[in-house]
Structure 1
Amino acid sequence: MGQTGSDARHALALSANDRIAVVAGSGLLPKEVADGLVKAGYRPLVVAIEGEADLEDEPSRYDFLRVTHEELGKLLSILKRRGVTHMVLAGGVARRPPLSTVRYSPKILLHLPRLAAGYARGDDGLLRAIAGFINSYGIKLVGAHEVVPELLAPQGQLTKMAPTRADERDISAAIAAARAIGRLDIGQAAVAVGGRTIALEDIEGTDGLLRRARVLRSHGRLAGKSRGVLVKCAKPGQELRVDLPTIGPQTVRDAHEAGLAGIAVEAERSLILECGETVRLADEFGLYLLGFARGREQ
């Protein structure tokens, strides 16, 4: 792939015999991962979850399989028969069908106690339990950034606009808040204005966080205050193979609508989708886009 720097450090060594499946949910990430693998000379198997993935069969570029939510319980058996050695989970899944409608393979019953224990430990505990279950089929769960490392946010300023000293105070406040909710396994993002955190990410995700930040602009002590920042960073101790903090063009649009001055993400532990367009939009709106070092504010 011709990687240098951080790309080379994160790239996964794959052989000609390896077979990669991209399990595609919603959003831009599945397409970015599939496109990156094709550019690198691989022919992935794209598994599109019905009602979630916005991907169609492209026989000239990759193999394709469409599955329903109810069929996910047997997916690993199907992938094993197709010779899959590595799996990437990419994109969101909004609908969770009743357990009684899901078709399970007999093997999953043996792992239910571990999966239940992982669920009780929160999102990251469940993800680790799922990774263990996938590995039991001889399939290795890998992160999107391991197969397409150019998705990782680099360190430093990416836009023409740079943060001011006041912006740096906002960034520090938001990083501290995002790390605090990350330790509680709640979310990965925070918004700060005027040196204070005003909103934290919850189950609504970053979209909901930025909607609330926009509404808060007209409330109380925030009325009349300008600028502010969205910060996203990985949870301390997070399972990095799934659900890395992610931004893209829509994040920039939403941040602009919320009246923010910029976005800061944790370098090499966050993803930037459609990076060229994301940076272009930030420049158009006069926002700064920054990748900060992992150790900042820890």
Structure 2
Amino acid sequence: MNAVVSAPVVKGRLGILAGRGNYPVLVAHAARDLAHDPYIFAIKDEADQDWSDYDATVVGIGDLSTFIQIVRREDIGAVVMAGGISRRPGIRDIRPTWTSIRSAPRALRALLSGGDDGILRAAVQMLERHGVRVLGAHEIAPDLLGQTGPLGECGPDRADHTDISAAAQAAIALGRLDVGQGAVAVGGRVVALEGLEGTDAMLSRVAGLRAEGRLRSRSRGVLVKLCKPGQELRTDLPAIGPATVRNAHAAGLSGIAIEAGRSLVLDRAEVIDEANRLGLFVTGLDLPAKAPST
């Protein structure tokens, strides 16, 4: 069963670090529903939504100095990270503060050379060293969390459960390497692992394999997305949206399985409509409890 997430108490204003996609908009709407007046930090060359209805500033991906100046000016007490980031910060992007140089040199190095989860942990560490509380987007928008069982009209059959088991084991092993969160299994065999290019590109590879006849036409297959073992749960939870459903269908898959309570379903109504229209299942898995990451 999914845990009930209560709205956190935020001292001062709430900030949202916004990357690509509609995800930050959903979080901003949820924040307003909780009577927050969120301040948007639109990440340069990443954020692609219209923020004209909010107080917002464009900031560079590694510009901690400007970020902290705005945090102090706007009395921001907590921030949420939401949205996709297509590239890692380079040395020219980093604008540190004296506090980060003195107290978090390892975090600065991790921003340049770590894996995805390592980079996000470093970012959280540096923000917290400046007295900024970091919240998970699901704490502000708990309705985005995936639920146990099928979301739409379709559910997995026996063959699908075999594929779910195989892909889940692969996703967990992949997550331990801090590389990706997803895997695809067809006919009980893992055929694709998510790399730095992301889920959609992985599904495109599967579609290509199927078009080339390298996958059995009678076996459809399943996409599974899970949290990485020990993942920092306040950042980068596995997420799916309507495009994921359409790309899974284009890859010839029968459905998608995500981790209930630790994955996000963006634009849920459209996800369900698309899954029903295309005859795919989208289901939430109850996995054994893991120690929370802090």
**TM-score between both structures, scaled by the size of structure 2:** 0.90
State the one-letter code of the partner of 2:5.
Answer: H
Per-residue displacement from partner, 1:247-269 (whole Å, max 9, x unpaired)? 00000110011111100000000
What's 1:146 paired with?
Answer: 139
Q: Is the 8 A contact 2:79 2:134 kept in 1?
A: yes
Measure, in 2, the Cα distance between the counterparts of 1:73 and 1:202. Answer: 31
What's 1:178 paired with?
Answer: 171
What's 1:24 paired with?
Answer: 18
1:13 aligns with 2:5: no
1:238 Cα shift?
Answer: 0.5
1:80 aligns with 2:72: yes
Q: Which of 38, 52, 64 does residue 32 from structure 2 map onto? A: 38
1:152 Cα shift?
Answer: 0.4
What's 1:188 paired with?
Answer: 181
RMSD between aligned alpha carbons? 2.2
Q: Is the 8 A contact 1:218 1:224 kept in 2?
A: no
Question: Which structure 1 segments of 5+ residues have no match?
Answer: none
What's 1:247 paired with?
Answer: 240
Question: Which structure 2 segments of 5+ residues have no match?
Answer: 290-294
Per-residue displacement from partner, 1:29-52 (whole Å, max 9, x unpaired)? 111111111122211111112321
What's 1:47 paired with?
Answer: 41
Give the stretch that moved more between structures: 125-134 or 152-161: 125-134
The alignment partner of 1:21 has SS state of strand
Query: Where do 1:97-108 residues align within 5 Å?
Result: 98-100=90-92, 102-108=94-100
Q: Which of 282, 287, 290 does residue 280 from structure 2 map onto? A: 287
Measure, in 2, the Cα distance between the counterparts of 1:121 and 1:57. Answer: 30
Q: Is the 8 A contact 2:171 2:182 kept in 1?
A: yes
Measure, in 2, the Cα distance between the counterparts of 1:122 and 1:46. Answer: 26
1:158 Cα shift?
Answer: 0.8
State the one-letter code of the partner of 2:15.
Answer: A
**Structure 1 residues 242, 70: CA separation in 2 closer, same or farther (over 3 Å shift)?**
closer
1:219 Cα shift?
Answer: 4.4
Query: Where do 1:90-239 residues align within 5 Å?
Result: 90-96=82-88, 98-100=90-92, 102-110=94-102, 111-116=104-109, 122-219=115-212, 222-239=215-232
The alignment partner of 1:135 has SS state of helix
Per-residue displacement from partner, 1:187-216 (whole Å, max 9, x unpaired)? 100001111111100111101110011011
Measure, in 2, the Cα distance between the counterparts of 1:65 and 1:120. Answer: 27
1:82 Cα shift?
Answer: 1.2
Give the stretch that moved more between structures: 92-101 or 156-165: 92-101
The alignment partner of 2:76 has SS state of coil
**Structure 1 residues 94, 235: CA separation in 2 closer, same or farther (over 3 Å shift)?**
same
Give the stretch that moved more between structures: 76-85 or 27-36: 76-85
**Structure 1 residues 231, 96: CA separation in 2 closer, same or farther (over 3 Å shift)?**
closer
Measure, in 2, the Cα distance between the counterparts of 1:154 and 1:250. Answer: 19
Per-residue displacement from partner, 1:211-258 (whole Å, max 9, x unpaired)? 011011144652423321110000011111111100000001100111
The alignment partner of 1:86 has SS state of strand
1:104 Cα shift?
Answer: 3.0
Equivalent residues, number: 288
1:278 aligns with 2:251: no
Query: Where do 1:254-273 residues align within 5 Å?
Result: 254-273=247-266
The alignment partner of 1:191 has SS state of strand
State the one-letter code of the partner of 1:86.
Answer: A
Give the stretch that moved more between structures: 82-91 or 125-134: 125-134
